[in-house]
Chains A and B, each alone.
Chain A
Amino acid sequence: MANAADVDALDFEPDDDDLMDEDATVDVDASSPSHIPKLKSAITAGSAPKKTKGRGFREETDAGRTNRMSGRFDSLDSDGGPGPERSIEGWIILVTGVHEEAQEDDLQNAFGEFGEIKNLHLNLDRRTGFVKGYALIEYENYEEAEKAIAAMDGGELLTQTVNVDWAFSRGPFKRRNNRRRSPHGHRSRSPRRRF
């Protein structure tokens, strides 16, 4: 059965989702549409009912989708342990809270002092043309990326507070107390910087 296969492939435990919330309770909405969605999403199977909306729920189950998203996906070798994952040519960090009028130079100036920036993606909002709010930065060495995170996370860039973290992880989310940014555990913080 397609749905069962989906669930297996997903291997998703609701308990593991500690991304945002403190309470995992989901309100059972009495006003939910009475029809039962045909396309039963793998992701919500077994969890509380949700408010659903869209034609996707009224269509026949798409067997093609199961084929498309099952099977082998390539990934870089990883032991699945905690901590950041190395990318093919270096270490990638994510900066969020980036000012909409930030320029690449602003990020170069702020982040270049921790090591040579091998790649910088400062993507734009497609509607407004301003910076979308995040930047992805690549350093060649782990230590450079780690220093940038330690120094800049919670720091200020163009009057806005920015958050800085690794982009990639060696395994799925773990519970909160396992979520460390670096395998070295508690890290000492340098003073915040301003630019």
Chain B
Amino acid sequence: MAEEENGAAAGGGGGEFYLRYYVGHKGKFGHEFLEFEFRPDGKLRYANNSNYKNDTMIRKEVFLTPSVLKECRRIVSDSEIMKEDDNNWPEPDRVGRQELEIVMGNEHISFTTSKIGSLMDVQTSKDPEGLRIFYYLVQDLKCFVFSLISLHFKIKPI
């Protein structure tokens, strides 16, 4: 679909694409986190660690087709996250930390913020518009990754 390719190009240039998301905190059950990344060669990596009830770390990886990476790129591009800035977002704290790193074309973002419990946290922040984009994009990306991982490996993420 040429139109879609143009759309993706307009939303951040062609070329490289890399995406990494991390959410986690250090607490009673050790370092609990969820992290995934889409690499430029198509590799999707997923790691989920919780020491709760002596759970072991789940680490999975699988190669995606270019079509899947393209859809991921479309989701990012449509969100317009690359226009945002984390300057006025809540700093990571004891409750937790989120990181979103994206390379798309010649732009590279590496945003960090605290965990976001609900839309209320978004609305009361200093940059509700930007943080809302982050908040929904992260949910859409998680949803995409969980579907891919659970279908491929037949595990229930989270």
Q: Which residues of A contact B (CB under 8 A)?
A: 10-14, 16-24, 26-27, 29, 37, 39, 41, 43-44, 47-48, 50-57, 59, 64-65, 68-69, 71-76, 78, 84-85, 87-89, 92, 94, 96-97, 119, 121, 123-127, 132-134, 136, 138, 161, 163, 165-173, 179
Contacts and interface: CB of A to CB of B under 8 A. Distances in A.
A89 B41 CA distance: 25
Contacts of A56: 86, 99, 101, 109-112
Contacts of A167: 64-65, 67-68, 148, 151-152
A34 B109 CA distance: 16
Interface string B125-147: 00000001000100110011001
A66 to B, nearest CB: 12
Interface of B: 1, 4-5, 8-9, 13-18, 22, 31, 33, 35, 37, 39-43, 45, 47, 49, 59-71, 73-75, 85-87, 91, 99, 101, 103, 105-112, 132, 136, 139-140, 143-144, 147-148, 151-154
- Interface residues of A, dominant DSSP: loop
B41 A97 contact: no
Given A41-B101, A68-B33, A121 B151 contact: yes
